Chain A
Amino acid sequence: MKYMMFVCVEEDTELTPEESREIGPATEAWVAEMDGRGVRLQGNQLAPITDATTVRVRGGEVVISDGPFTEAKEQIGGYDILECADLDEAIEVASKHPVARYGMLEVRPFVEW
């Protein structure tokens, strides 16, 4: 079963110096573990929302605006595509992600055809 895992943090989350130092290596360790288990198919960190562009087509016109399409204070900072036996495994994988301790993860199943 494939799940998309969004890695989210709130806009003005401030990390302690210790957290900032640890987040890189901790994420790498998580990636290594989940790749090793075969539950992580791929994933990436995303550039900040200041680099985002929103695209719509309205009345045949391409409408472009700066920034993300949501006004939410939680922002997607990255994603991973997981292949898990069931939701319990996906929850376990997500709960081990270092961002879970100060941000949040959304686990959503792919639609199966």
Chain B
Amino acid sequence: MVTQDASSAVAEAFTEEWGRIVATLIARTGDWDLAEDCAQQAFTEAVRRWPRDGVPRQPGAWLTTVARNRAVDRLRHERMKEERLRTATDLMSAIPPDEPDPTRGEEDESGIADDRLRLMFTCCHPALPLEGRVALTLRTLAGLTTAEIARAFLVPEATMAKRLVRAKGKIAHARIPYRVPPAHLLPERTGSVLAVLYLLFNEGYKASAGPDLVRADLCREAIRLARVLDGLMPDEPEAGGLLALVLFQHSRRLARVDEHGELVTLEEQDRSRWDRGEIDEAAAILDRALARHSAGPYQLQAAIAACHARSPRPDATDWARIATLYERLLGVMPQPIVALNHAIAVAMAQGPDQGLVLVDELDASGALSGYYLLHATRADLLRRLGRVADARAAYLQALELTSSDAERRFLRRRVAETAPL
């Protein structure tokens, strides 16, 4: 066994097994810090021993056994508390050393057997602050270090450490149960898990123009966790919807930034640089999810992304279908930003005058009055209708509201174009 193989085997095992090992140890001991420490020690041990002894046949089982033994040792050392000792005894009997797959949990009320799923639902419990849910998910399920998570979210490491301590503290003190919620809570709680994974993806995606590779890693972790969730919840089509959605978006990562690091609009992207493999995978996952006839927000957004992915050229885009999908999305996600996208799709499908009616309605509601994109969209529709003076006024309004340099440059160009002769 050569060293190179061993270290790549450790790296691979880390990606595959970290979350599983932590989840199992939390299930057995109820101690989140102990679980993380012992998982870390198991990997340290692997780094030391695999190059010398060879990579074990079942790396996951090997790592779990080492981590479990460490946990047992640690709990033994903490004999002061009688209850902990009992836990240690349970631990040893619960996972006999020779069991081939020691990572498998027992089924709970929901009928879903996997400790990672329990861990996901616990990390994403709505009683935790959103930022705590995100941090905890990255730490315990993805195995990112506190420093890495801090860098990814552009906060000092001490701030992130405090966030993690608080979240774990609340789980323990307020007794947030370590479980997949029972059926009557499942839809609502699944929504929270999906939202955290999507936030994770977007956090990485919106920054992938920059040089920070840790942030690109967030996209990869989000996709991986969405894949795990989809695999563990085959009856939840929104899990497939989320996975398809992030894959569709990720497929455009190379085309959405130009050589100067500027964002390229969907319309102007070089579609030959879209990742066909990811698009095909996303399409298959989406079809499977949609076949269950219970389309929620993630499936609908993925279906919209699929319309773009399928279109060989911008002018071949099926805007009528996109407008219909946005209308359905508006039904399940009645948010002003969805209404704005619906208006844009209607303008593309039926003409700028139809779109303008909807944008004006939205403008009158005041919901997005401080949002530059509302005014930029209105300006664009007015321009296309030949109402140059109105367009210019709207461009100026948009210009006042944006703080992004790239947007400013674009809007200034438009203002100049609509200047009175």
Contacts and interface: CB of A to CB of B under 8 A. Distances in A.
A3 B174 CA distance: 8
A1 B177 CA distance: 12
Interface string B118-142: 0000000101000000000000000
Interface string B171-202: 00111110001000100000000000000000
Nearest to A107: B174
Interface residues of B, number: 9
Contacts, number: 24
Nearest to A110: B173
A88 to B, nearest CB: 6
A87 interface: yes
Given A88-B181, A88-B185, A109 B127 contact: no
Interface residue range, chain A: 10 to 19
Contacts of A87: 125, 127, 174-177
Nearest to B127: A87
A86 B175 contact: yes
Output the residue of A1, A85, A88, A91 with the most chain B CB within 10 A.
A88
A15 B125 CA distance: 32
Contacts of A109: 173-175
Nearest to B185: A88
Contacts of B175: 1, 86-87, 109
Q: Is the interface of A mostly helix, strand, loop or mixed?
A: mixed
Nearest to A84: B175
A87 B189 CA distance: 14
B177 A88 contact: yes
Nearest to A109: B174
A6 to B, nearest CB: 14
B181 to A, nearest CB: 7
A3 B176 CA distance: 12
Contacts of B127: 87, 91
Interface string A89-113: 0010000000000000001110110
B82 to A, nearest CB: 15
A85 B178 CA distance: 12
B218 to A, nearest CB: 29
Contacts of B173: 109, 111-112
Contacts of A111: 173
Contacts of B176: 86-88
B119 to A, nearest CB: 16
A73 to B, nearest CB: 22
Question: In this complex, which of A87, A107, A108 has the most chain B Cβ atoms within 10 angstroms of its Cβ?
Answer: A87
A108 B127 CA distance: 11
Contacts of B174: 3, 87, 107-109
Contacts of A112: 173
A91 to B, nearest CB: 7
16 contacts: A1-B175, A3-B174, A85-B177, A86-B175, A87-B125, A87-B127, A87-B176, A87-B177, A88-B177, A88-B181, A88-B185, A107-B174, A108-B174, A109-B174, A111-B173, A112-B173
The 6 closest A-B pairs by CB, nearest first: A86-B177, A86-B175, A109-B174, A1-B175, A87-B174, A87-B176
Given A86-B177, A88-B177, 17 more contacts: A1-B175, A3-B174, A85-B177, A86-B175, A86-B176, A87-B125, A87-B174, A87-B175, A87-B176, A87-B177, A88-B176, A88-B185, A107-B174, A108-B174, A109-B174, A109-B175, A111-B173
